Amino acid sequence: MGTAEGMNSDMKARFVPVSTQDDVERLLAASSDHPVVLFKHDHACSISVRAYWDLSSVPGEISLIDVERDHGLSQAVATRLGVRHESPQVIVIRDGQAVYSACHWNIESQAVTRAASADHSGTAFQSDSSTG
């Protein structure tokens, strides 16, 4: 999976770049074993930079799509998961399905941590994607 440009060495281990459709397929497959947190990030956007630093406190690995570089992939993921494309945006995926999505100022590490750790079997999709 590519390199994470513009991120310090402390963050590289936590944010794992996703840059190909094969990477996305691996994430969707992995989501049947454990929840996957996917962050669509644009390092040129101040809201996205704030969300990036806030998400750095979420336990575990965060998959990252560089929206500026891989806009088409970001759009394809939104379509595949049935969520409206936003940037920045965080999506929690379980069993190949989006179970949580938030964008812009609504991206909060505590909500993402809860969504990734809660048992969502049989629960409806949650979204905090209103503009804020």
Q: Which ranges of the chain have pLDDT less than 50?
A: 1-13, 122-124, 130-132
Residue linked to tokens 């949580």: 100
Burial of 64 (0-12, 13-18, 19+ CB in 10 A): buried
How long is the chain? 132
Per-residue confidence (pLDDT) for residue 43, from 0 to 100: 93
Report the pLDDT value the prediction gives residue 82, as an integer from 0 to 100.
Answer: 96
Q: What is the pTM of this model?
A: 0.83
d(CA 78, CA 87): 11
pLDDT at 11: 42
Identify the pLDDT of residue 120.
Answer: 53
Spatial contact of 129 and 102, defined as CB atoms under 8 Å apart: yes
Which residues share a beta bridge with 126? 100
The dihedral through the CA atoms of 100, 87, 60, 108 has a sign that is negative
Q: For residue 29, what pLDDT is reported?
A: 98
User: How confident is the model at residue 118, as a pLDDT?
Assistant: 72
pLDDT for the residue numbered 7: 42
Using an 8 Å Cβ cutoff, are 31 and 95 in contact?
yes
Residue 4's pLDDT is 41
Torsion sign, CA atoms 11, 75, 115, 43: positive
